[in-house]
Structure 1
Amino acid sequence: MTRRDRREPEFTEFFGAHAAGLRRTAYLVVRDWHLAEDLTQQAMAKLYAAWGRTRPATRLAYARRIVVNECLSHLRRRRPETAFETVPDLAAPTAGDSPLDLGRALELLPPRQRAIVALRFLEDLPVDEVARVLGVASGTVKSQTSRALDTLRRHLPDLAEELS
């Protein structure tokens, strides 16, 4: 059996087991399901190309790093928003709207902080692993986590007690 013959089923199994989680992480960073799907696919293509150079024990961490890097790169390349002379009126909240809107609060975070929150709390990774995935120091992960949680506490006061 050639290396290519082994790579196909290994990669297919890996993709089936981890694509959904990687897509969730991408979504938390870019805040768009379709874009998260596209960026996850791009990351998987890069992983497939590097498959033979990766170790089975570190493939998931490598895949996370590729996904987060793809998301952050996309957000850096994104066109700036168009300015308008007047701000459109916002819809008034209805009785069924909840003041607890985690999605809107996450949009207040810079992309790197969203990535850290996604990896720390969605993927449940320890600080050192998040630092390895993002290629930053552990102290940076700790300080950015603290800043992100402070922002979320300010904008989601109902969660303040749960996040403490």
Structure 2
Amino acid sequence: MKNTVPGQIDLLALDNQFCFALYSASLAMTKTYKPLLDKIGLTYPQYLVMMVLWEHDGILVKNIGEALFLDSGTLTPLLKRMEAAELLTRNRDEIDERQVRIHLTKQGKLLKKAAKEIPLQIMCASGQTKETLINLKTQLSQVRNDLTESNLS
């Protein structure tokens, strides 16, 4: 038996939840990335860090955290594992020793070439056009920003 008046949407039905559609799409996306990233020896969070570093090598840990919306408690163990895998180095900043600066190693830089085709493979797997994915990314970024700025968070 439905909990709605005829013509009204059941706001608590799972299939009507934007958050569940987003969550399940995220799970599907991560699952699709897994075999591609396994081939180059990265987890999805490590891949995200590498993308930030391939774009901005030598940045501070706090800047990586800001780019990925991760706190230092999540990011630090991840960076330590990546350092142990010889993908990056962590060093105290010369100007402010309280800050840690991250640099790619030669191995980390070379990994970019191995990852080059992954975005195209993901786009093909999604069955969406480049334009559709760009528009969806823009909309999702706006939803994220609005939620971050809301009084509820």
> So what's the TM-score if we normalise by structure 1?
0.24
Which of the two has higher C-alpha Rg?
Answer: 2
Greater RCO structure (CA 8 Å; 6+ sep): 1
Of Structure 1 and Structure 2, the greater strand share is in 2
